[in-house]
Amino acid sequence: MSLKNKLHDLKMKYKGTKMAPAFNALHTFLYMPNDVTHSGTHVKAADDLKRTMNTVILALVPCLIFGIFNAGYQHYAAIDQTLRLDPLGNFFTWENLTLGAWTVLPLVIVSYVVGLGVEFVFATIKGHEVEEGYLVTGMLVPLIIPIDTPLWMLVIAVIFGVILGKEVFGGTGMNILNPALTIRAFLFFAYPTWMSGDKVWVHEAVERDALISAGSNLDAISGETILGTYAQNQEPIYSIMDMFYGFIPGSVGETSTILILLGGLFLLYTKVASWRIMLSAVIGALTMGLLFNGVVDAGWIKDGSNFFGLMSVPFWEHLIIGGLAFGIVYMATDPVTGSQTNKGKWYYGFFIGFISVMIRVFNPAYPEGVFLAILLMNVFAPTIDHYVIQGNIKKRMKRLKIKSA
Amino acid sequence: MALLSKKDRALILDPLADNNPITIQVLGICSALAITAQLKASIVMALSVLFVVSVGNVVISLIRNIIPSKIRIIVQLIVVAALVIIVDQVLKAYAYELSKQLSVFIGLIITNCIIMGRFEAFALANGPWRSFLDGIGNALGYSVILIIVGFFRELLGSGTLLGIQVLGDPITKTGLYAIGYENNGFMLLSPMALIVIGIIIWVQRSRNSKLIEEH
């Protein structure tokens, strides 16, 4: 008997019991159901929730693979700086792959196992079908955290994020906040020493630091991000092309702008993500960057000021450093938590870009704010929609009055 | 509990669960978020409110027939203010460190909605003994939530309880810290207190279907 039939039999056996949703989800996730509707009028469309989710995951896979190589590359390059002279030649190597896989894949596995576990438990308790929402979240989470995040922290954060970011609101499609960003925000506020600083972005930098302070004769690893370097009013050691291709330290999957760009184009081509949000977010970030550049050019801010370094970053460079591109393409465009109206999407996206760069410059503790900006705008998305709809109603009422008068 | 009649008993027991001032009426949230990062502060705050609301209820109940109804809010405020100043001075005299930690929030007991709410809703219409029980009951309902929140926030946020390190020493890495455990800094921030209270409300409502409103 094939696995498919076994699953079908299991499903039939548990039909109507509490465990039914769990078996049903397992069956339909792996195979097409044995029984499908044959008669009657039904909309036949391929783009169900599962297909949408899979499209986003496909778009994320290049970032994940790049992130795996980059994890190894950053580790070896931090020990031997000469590797940085030829990033492309030293990037796709076997050592980078094995080390990266060894560090990144556990994050992916833990994220999926814990998150889907919570989903299954809640589906069983509440008696609804298991929803596919976590498939994308589970892939996003390992890509937006530092490489050496301890797994038990990830477990706690995922449980917190899935329950309080999604399940309390009624599950997939009902959530106010993006669950992946809720998880990231929880980690950031709960364990700040593991989420920021110049040691967390490179594998084993923290351990090595501890060994050195204990008296070992080793070279220190420094893996300051570009934003962190700017925040200290220093010039980064990476070239623009390094930043664009992504040979820089950062969260696991957010460094390579070119792959994010490709993933974004794929999402736009499949019409899964909204081009309005992406475009307006880019415009918003550029606007804020230009404003800050203007402030610096006008000489209103002194060379030694805390904000000088970040304010004088060329406005377009904001797009290729830090997590801005990743946030705009994969997380701001989340159809559930974003604005629903077309006009609202312009405002929503614009403020995400605008506020991201603002937080970046003015946040003294942590020079990055994309996830905070998106979470903030998640909260305001329904308000934006409300005013867009009210404005439309008002306009039509006026037209009606003129007609009837 | 032969001392109390069934009706009187309800005065104390109701606010503990089914009519809890924090989780059901959602009053007194401000102080519950601000001072619950440590269990000790929560307990002192709970005791202060217990004193103020029970004594205040008796005082208001005693003079309820001679308060002109037009200025009753002002009279109530004076009674609360007097009691709060007593609490504040006692704390300053006998627990100075703690009083500094609680800072403005002892003074802000005056504005705690639970107190004015009980004066208005109960003490103005009932005798002193029943008002006293009502005050005790509501203050206990408030205290229970404060202590639960304070317990979890201090345990998970600082790894201590009443200032005693129960999970080991985070600096010399003993106990749980030896295997890589770390304190959850989010627990020390007020937003997490709101989330903890939210979880308590969630648990309470899912266990007691009477509390769920019909739509």
| Residue A168, both tokens | 């309390």
Q: For every residue of chain B, which 3-state class applies, written as one string?
A: CCCCCHHHHHHHHHHHCCCCCCCCCCCCHHHHHHCCCCHHHHHHHHHHHHHHHHHHHHHHHHCCCCCCHHHHHHHHHHHHHHHHHHHHHHHHHHCHHHHHHHCHHHHHHHHCHHHHHHHHHCHHHCCHHHHHHHHHHHHHHHHHHHHHHHHHHHHHHHCEECCEECCCCCCCCCHHHHHCCCCCHHHHCHHHHHHHHHHHHHHHHHHCHHHCCCC
Strand partners, B161: B164
The domain tally of chain A equals: 1
| Residue A303, both tokens | 């060379």
pLDDT tens digits, B151-193: 999 988 888 888 788 887 777 777 777 777 888 888 888 888 8
What is the gyration radius of the CA atoms in chain B, in angstroms? 19
B182 and A153 within 8 Å at the Cβ level: the answer is yes
**A164 chain-B contacts, CB cut-off 8 A:** 195
B186 and A153 within 8 Å at the Cβ level: the answer is no
pLDDT tens digits, B43-91: 888 888 899 999 999 999 898 888 888 888 898 889 999 999 998 898 8
Chain B: residue whose CA lies nearest to A151 = B180
A189 and B195 within 8 Å at the Cβ level: the answer is no
Nearest CB to B185 within list A152, A164, A190: A190
Instruction: Provide the pLDDT for residue B1.
Output: 47
B195 and A164 within 8 Å at the Cβ level: the answer is yes
B195 and A153 within 8 Å at the Cβ level: the answer is no
**B181 chain-A contacts, CB cut-off 8 A:** 152
Q: How many CB atoms lie within 10 A of CB A338?
A: 25
Residue A351 lies in a domain: yes
Distance from CA of B54 to the nearest CA of A (A): 37
**B186 chain-A contacts, CB cut-off 8 A:** 186, 189-190
Choose between A256 and A25: higher pLDDT: A256
Min mean pLDDT across A27-31, A297-301, A354-358 is at A27-31
Residue B184 lies in a domain: yes
Choose between B96 and A306: higher pLDDT: B96
Average pLDDT over residues A345-355: 93
Tell me the C-alpha distance between A344 and A382, whole Å: 9
A191 and B189 within 8 Å at the Cβ level: the answer is no
| Confidence label for A34 from pLDDT (cuts 50, 70 and 90) | low
Residue A395 lies in a domain: no
* Local structure of A274: helix, strand or coil: coil
Residues of A with CB under 8 A from a CB of B: 150, 152-153, 156, 164, 168, 186, 189-194
Average pLDDT over residues A319-335: 88
What is the number of residues in chain A? 405
For testing the chain A interface, which of B173, B184, B205 should be mutated: the one with the most A CBs within 10 Å?
A: B184
Chain B: residue whose CA lies nearest to A194 = B182
Residue B2 lies in a domain: no
Average pLDDT over residues A62-67: 91
Tell me the C-alpha distance between B110 and B81, whole Å: 6
Chain A: residue whose CA lies nearest to B189 = A189
Distance from CA of B53 to the nearest CA of A (A): 34
Residues of B with CB under 8 A from a CB of A: 180-182, 184-187, 189, 192, 195, 198, 202
ipTM above 0.90, yes or no: no
Q: What percentage of residues in chain A have a pLDDT greater than 90?
A: 29
**B170 chain-A contacts, CB cut-off 8 A:** none
**B180 chain-A contacts, CB cut-off 8 A:** 150, 152
Are A107 and A154 within 8 A, CB to CB? Answer: yes
pLDDT tens digits, A211-269: 777 766 666 666 677 777 777 777 777 888 888 888 888 888 888 899 999 999 999 99
CB pairs under 8 A between A and B: 23
For testing the chain B interface, which of A167, A191, A200 should be mutated: the one with the most B CBs within 10 Å?
A: A191
**A194 chain-B contacts, CB cut-off 8 A:** 182
CA A354 to chain centre: 18
B182 and A164 within 8 Å at the Cβ level: the answer is no
**A151 chain-B contacts, CB cut-off 8 A:** none
Q: How many CB atoms lie within 10 A of CB B117?
A: 16
Are A137 and A180 within 8 A, CB to CB? Answer: yes
B182 and A186 within 8 Å at the Cβ level: the answer is no
Average pLDDT over residues A180-207: 83
B185 and A192 within 8 Å at the Cβ level: the answer is yes
B189 and A186 within 8 Å at the Cβ level: the answer is no
Residue B1 lies in a domain: no
Name residue, tokens 């000088």. A308
Distance from CA of A99 to the nearest CA of B (A): 22
Tell me the C-alpha distance between B57 and B48, whole Å: 14
Q: In terms of DSSP H, where are the helices of A80-195? A: 94-126, 134-143, 151-165, 179-190, 192-195
Tell me the C-alpha distance between A335 and A277, whole Å: 10
Q: For every residue of A236-267, which 3-state class applies, written as one string?
A: CCCCHHHHHHCCCCCCCCCCCHHHHHHHHHHH
The domain tally of chain B equals: 1
> Domain residues for B127?
19-206
Nearest CB to B186 within list A189, A193, A194: A189
A189 and B202 within 8 Å at the Cβ level: the answer is no
Rounded to the nearest integer, the mean pLDDT of chain A is 84
Rounded to 10 degrees, the C-alpha dihedral B116/B121/B125/B126 comes to -80
CA A49 to chain centre: 19
| Residue B161, both tokens | 């309880």
**A365 chain-B contacts, CB cut-off 8 A:** none
Chain A: residue whose CA lies nearest to B202 = A168
Instruction: Provide the pLDDT for residue A1.
Output: 60
Chain B: residue whose CA lies nearest to A185 = B186
Distance from CA of B107 to the nearest CA of A (A): 30
Tell me the C-alpha distance between A398 and A404, whole Å: 10
B182 and A191 within 8 Å at the Cβ level: the answer is yes
Are B99 and B88 within 8 A, CB to CB? Answer: yes
| DSSP summary character for residue A374 | H
| Residue B14, both tokens | 């109701």
Residue A212 lies in a domain: yes
pLDDT tens digits, B33-46: 888 888 888 888 88
